[in-house]
Amino acid sequence: MTRIIDRRFDSKKKSAVNRQRFMRRFKQQIRRAVSDAIQDRSIRDLDNGEQISIPSKDLSEPQFQHGRGGVWEQVFSGNDQFSSGDLINRPPAGGGGRGQGKASNEGEGEDDFVFHLSREEFLDIFFDDLALPNLIRTQLAKITDYKTQRAGFTADGTPANINIIRSMRGALGRRLALGSPFTVRLRELQKELDEVVEACGEDSPEAIALREEIARVRAKIEAIPFIDSFDLRYNNRIKVPKPTTQAVMFCVMDVSGSMDEEKKATAKRFFMLLYLFLNRTYEHIEVVFIRHHTIAKEVDEDEFFHSRESGGTVVSSALKLMHEVIVSRYARGNWNIYGAQASDGDNWDNDSPICRDLLDTQILPYCQYFAYIEITPGEPQNLWREYEKLMGAHKNFAMQRIEAPADIYPVFRELFKKTLV
Amino acid sequence: MKRAAVKKLQQLPATSEWTFEAIDAYHTEIARVAGEFGLDVYPPQIELITAEQMMDAYASVGMPVNYHHWSFGKHFLTTEKGYRRGQMGLAYEIVINSNPCIAYLMEENTLTMQALVIAHAAYGHNSFFKGNYLFRTWTNADAIVDYLIFARHYIAECEERHGEEEVELLLDSCHALMNLGVDRYKRPPKLSLAKEKLRQSERTEYLQSQVNELWRTLPLHDAKPGRALRPRFPPEPEENLLYFVEKHAPLLEPWQREIVRIVRKIAQYFFPQRQTQVMNEGWACFWHYTLLNRLYDEGLLADSFMLEFLQSHTNVVYQPAYNERWYNGINPYALGFMMWQDIRRICESPTEEDRAWFPDIAGSDWHETFDFAMKNFKDESFVAQYLSPKVIRDLRLFAILDDEHESKLKVSAIHDDRGYRRVREILSDQYNLGSREPNIQVWNVDLRGDRSLTLRHQEYRRRPLGGTIDEVMKHMARLWGFTVRLETQHEDGTVELVQETRIEKRRGHPDN
């Protein structure tokens, strides 16, 4: 008795639990890999999963095994040149697949263990690092919000959506259209009848015949259905992405000699988080990268994060440039302007008051939000002290000193609070 | 029989898309022919699954149900990656040694492949599972699926009660010792779900009381000075490390012992498969080849079917030469298939050489010879018994001796008159689990002292133990709960301490 069973529609993802356990167990390694991956990513690119590789030795499953050495005597196939007693030089170490019968077990050898993280998993780890609260996590990880809105009428739908006025109007029109030949005929007959009655009297055979004819036509008109499924109209609702506008995000970063790679990496996360946040709120986002040491320059993302320059620091140069860009490109039209500035706080002393002034008068009035992070383990620098004075005056200004990526989130607290309510 | 073939010369469907009707039609014919050849099988149960389900099945070592563990997740990711990138095709089939015998067919396969898989798995492997002595003694096809369900529930329950982490650590340790968790010589009792559940609570109580043996030695007779007479513990070295842990580890909780037992039982279930790869795969290849050819001879199969089938078959039984890039040891499919074909040849048309080498089987009835060979051997003995000079010549086998004390490798035997026996001996030894894996046994427990456990490794041909010993020893120490030592006994009889893993906290776990 044989059975052929179709299991294709059985529950899928049988291994999902095992996969989660794997992820949990190697969280450390995976997190490290994610943070490496962030280095190579564009800050706009947060909607994809990631290819993660972790060293395979970390996740080996140990067993008692023979090591190399001692005496091995093995059989090979395809002899083409040897006869018994031949002596051969040892092949160079690692060369040739002289595996020990378990070669097929782990064909990977010493390579890293590579696997793919989904977008959710990737963001989860990214948020983990930034110590984002759960509610905000879910808010950010969602892709787009839709709202339903009316969009005219359709000929099919659910009974709950029937539009009565439309349907009745249609029915009326149909009745008129279908009935019109008969109405005309009816009118003619009526007229004829009137004439016949006039001429021959009520009960003449012609009059009777005409009356019968009239009754027949009436019956035909009445046979036209009052309402037909053909007449029904339904309210149409469609899903549209939430009305969004455009935003521009300014990334301002100090690239003077004192900003090392690690600080830049922290800054990058800060920018990424802001981007992610904006991405959720606005449909279209432009990003302007401004880097500065003593002179500011607008650059593309690659140059922004990767090229390295040294020298002194004049922060106001960047703010001036930002102002110019705002005025020339984003002042007109409905651009929501966001600014994010990252620096190690080291500024030329006389420049800091100028910066505060620039922000106060020329930038903050245009901005929805401006966030400043100072990446430094030490004492606050002069720029910080100047900026502090702005805190009371502007609600759309936030600043935070950062040592680790987990400190970034408080900067956004206000921002998130605003949109979550 | 002949008449039946003549009567329905109706060709089987030759499309490449499969349908349930077509699979059924093929299966009916294959079953008929298999019956004519006298294959004794468990009733086959054919299940169609998707590629993803195939990867799931892969990840849980081919079983339809299994408990949860991260290592299965890791295997799943490896398989998935290979498959997505197209580096690796999935196996066409997975077959489970159970009654009924479950054979998985993958949705993506063509009709030809499905027919091939039915012949290969549902009749080839199936009959091997049912007939071979190792499977008959070590596994119980009726109970395995039930047992796995029991194991899965039990472990899930433990996770709820004691925390996933705790259970995971324990499973890690058990997995590390899995290969040494089998009885090689004792015959295990059969499993059954009902009995297992019934006996489980009894057993845990009983076990816990037995463990106290270790504790009890202290106060009773310390007046007697005759320490030399004190019996060793264990009295005989114990080869099954997990069994020893389950029965004697002093600090394990009852549920921990049960989990050790589950891992041990599953290891035992897979033990025969590790010892019969060449025979089993060769047997299955032989039968899919023979069965489908018979159907072709009867005129039931289209030529296009045969071409596709032969191409797959040839790929499977291809043996690359040692110097080709894709050489990866002796291909068990190739060796097994050639040997079974060769045995049939020896039976049907023996040469002088065959008569000299195999006087018992040359010219005998091949069905009977096959039946005997399939039932009573494992790879090691099968190669030693049946590898003929012709196969050695055909595969151009040669042996290389690699002695670390010599500066050069030596070709110790090739496919010539002087070499046949030597090649056969070496190849047979290659399939001997005893020489493939290090021989490590429980040697002694210091009952009077610190309860430390000593494992002894019997060195084989001067081969040292490989890289991950200290990891495995940590796992052993975690299970045992006290210091664990590993000694190597060299071939000259001297004993050397290889590793000592101490455990300080009694109830705690060693740090990873």
Indicate whether B295 and B348 sit together in one domain.
no
Q: What is the pLDDT of residues B292-303, one digit of tens each?
A: 999 999 999 999
Same-domain check for residues A264 and A225: no
Specify the pLDDT at position B224: 47
In a domain, B177, yes or no: no
| Residue length of chain B | 512
By Cβ distance, the residue of B27, B407, B427 closest to A2 is: B27
**Interfacial A residues in 10-49 facing B (CB < 8 Å):** 10, 12, 14-15, 17-26
Q: Answer whether residue B507 is part of any domain.
A: no
Same structural domain, A348 and A301:
yes
Phi first, then psi: what are they for B2, rounded to 5°?
-55, -45
pLDDT, one tens digit per residue, over B461-493 is 888 888 788 889 999 999 999 999 999 999 888
**Same-domain status, A295 and A363:** yes
In a domain, B441, yes or no: no
Residue B250 lies in a domain: no
Is the same domain home to B359 and B299? no
Same-domain status, A200 and A340: no
**Whether residue A194 sits in one domain with residue A331:** no
Q: At what angle do helices B51-59 and B70-84 cross, to 10 degrees?
A: 140
Single out the residue of B343, B368, B365 nearest to residue B354, CA to CA.
B343
Is the same domain home to A124 and A163? no
Based on the fold, state whether residues A209 and A318 are members of the same structural domain.
no
Residue, of B22 and B1, whose pLDDT is higher: B22
Find out whether B298 and B5 touch, Cβ atoms under 8 Å.
Answer: yes
| B107 in reach of chain A (CB within 8 A) | yes
Residues B340 and B297 in one domain: no
For residue A344, is it within any domain? yes
pLDDT at position B7 is 47
Is B295 part of a structural domain of the chain?
yes
In a domain, A36, yes or no: yes
pLDDT exceeds 50 at position A102: no
Contact B106, B92 (CB under 8 A): yes
Same domain? For B46 and B112 the reply is yes
Structure token digits, residue A297 = 């320059």
Coil, strand, or helix at residue A5?
Answer: strand
Which residues are CB-neighbours of A33 under 8 A, at least 6 positions away? A52, A53, A54
Quote the distance between the C-alpha of residue A395 and its chain's center: 28
Quote the pLDDT of residue B89: 58
Q: With a CB-CB cutoff of 8 Å, which residues 322-381 of chain B face chain A?
A: 322-324, 327-330
Provide the b/e sequence for B415-453 (b: ≥16 CB within 10 Å). Answer: beeebbebbbbbbbbbbbbebbbbbbbbbbbebeeebbb
**Ranges A131-135, A170-174, A378-382, B134-138, most confident:** A170-174
Q: Reduced to 3 states, what is the DSSP secondary structure of residue B413? A: strand
- Cβ of A72 under 8 Å from any chain B Cβ? yes
Query: Residues A186, A271: one domain?
Result: no
Residue A223 lies in a domain: yes
- pLDDT higher than 90, residue B245: yes
Q: Which chain B residues contact residue A74 at CB under 8 A?
A: 399-400, 402, 426, 430
For testing the chain B interface, which of A9, A12, A13, A15 should be mutated: the one with the most B CBs within 10 Å?
Answer: A15
Average pLDDT over residues A216-226: 88
The amino acid sitting at A213 is E
Instruction: Report the gap between the CA of B209 and the closest CA in chain A (Å).
Output: 31
The number of C-beta contacts closer than 8 angstroms across A and B is: 259
- C-alpha to C-alpha distance for B431 and B172, rounded to whole angstroms: 27
Residue A163, domain member (yes or no): yes
pLDDT digits (tens, 9 = 90+) for B162-191: 999 899 999 999 999 998 888 876 665 555
Q: Which of the residues A20, A23, A75, A106 would you substitute to probe the B interface, choosing the one with the greatest number of B C-beta atoms within 10 Å?
A: A75
How far CA A416 is from CA of A128, A136, A158, A400, A420, in Å, comes to 17, 7, 39, 15, 6
Does one domain contain both B11 and B92?
yes
| Cβ contacts of A77 on chain B, cutoff 8 Å | 319-322, 327, 330, 395-397
Q: What pLDDT digit, counting tens, does each position of B25-44 carry?
A: 999 999 999 999 999 999 99
- Partners of A72 on chain B (C-beta within 8 Å) are 401-402, 461, 463
Q: Report chain A residues whose CB lies below 8 A from the CB of B329.
A: 97, 99, 101, 103-104
Which residues of chain A have a CB within 8 Å of the CB of B44? 2
Q: What is the mean pLDDT of residues A9-19?
A: 79
- B330 and B294 in a common domain: no
Q: Are residues A366 and A389 in the same domain?
A: yes
Q: What is the pLDDT of residue B442?
A: 93
Domain range spanning residue A230?
159-236
Q: State how many domains chain B has.
A: 2
Does residue B506 lie in a domain region? no
Provide the mean pLDDT of chain A. Answer: 79
Do residue A266 and residue A399 come from a single domain? Answer: yes
Query: Is A285 found in the same domain as A399?
Result: yes
Q: Does B172 fall in a domain? A: no
Q: Is residue B330 part of a domain?
A: yes
CB A119 within 8 A of CB A48: yes
- pLDDT value of position A227: 87
- Cβ separation of A73 and B320 shorter than 8 Å? no
Of A46 and B401, the one with more pLDDT = B401
Q: Is 50 exceeded by the pLDDT of residue A97?
A: no
Report if residue A206 sits inside a domain.
yes
In a domain, A4, yes or no: no
Q: Which of B46, B78, B427 sits opposite A4 (nearest CB)?
A: B46
Q: Domain check: are B375 and B344 in the same one?
A: yes
Residue A383 lies inside a defined structural domain of this protein: yes
A282-303 tens-digit pLDDT: 777 888 889 888 888 888 888 8
Rounded mean pLDDT of A342-356? 84
Q: Are residues A275 and A184 in the same domain?
A: no
Q: What is residue A8's predicted lDDT score, i.e. its pLDDT?
A: 84
pLDDT in tens, A106-146: 333 446 777 788 877 887 777 777 766 666 666 666 555 56
With bands split at pLDDT 50, 70 and 90, how would you rate the model's confidence at A90? Answer: confident
- pLDDT given for residue B428 in this prediction: 94
Q: A6, B466: Cβ pair inside 8 Å?
A: no
Domain boundary, last residue among B434, B462, B493 = B434
Read off the tokens for B145.
């699926």
Predicted confidence at residue B210, as pLDDT, reads 63
pLDDT of A381 above 80: no
For B202, B222, B239, B253, B447, the CA distances from B250, given in Å and listed in that order, are 18, 21, 19, 9, 11
The number of folded domains in chain A is 3
Question: CA-to-CA distance for B99 and B44, rounded, in angstroms?
Answer: 8
Share of chain B above pLDDT 70, in %: 88
pTM: 0.72
8 Å CB contact between A4 and B46? yes
Domain match, B326 and B306 both: no
The last residue of one of the domains, among B286, B310, B334, is: B310
Residue type, A227: I
Mean pLDDT of B47-53: 86
Residues B424 and B404 in one domain: yes
Measure A104 CA to nearest chain B CA, in Å.
7
Residues B400, B322 within the same domain: yes
Q: Is B441 in the A-facing interface, judged by CB distances under 8 Å?
A: no
Over residues A39-61, mean pLDDT: 75
Q: Are B126 and B63 in the same domain?
A: yes
In this complex, the residue of B31, B78, B107 whose CB is nearest that of residue A8 is: B107
Q: Give the count of beta carbons closer than 10 Å to the beta carbon of residue A165.
A: 8
Domain that holds residue B389: 317-434
The number of beta carbons lying within 10 Å of the beta carbon of residue B253 is 15
* Residue A9 domain flag: no
* Mean pLDDT across chain B: 85
Q: Which of A232-236, A257-261, B411-415, B436-440 is predicted with the least confidence, judged by mean pLDDT?
A: A257-261
**Residues above pLDDT 70, as percent of chain A:** 85
State pLDDT tens for residues B87-129: 555 566 788 888 889 898 888 888 998 999 999 999 999 999 9
Predicted local confidence at residue A389, as pLDDT: 84
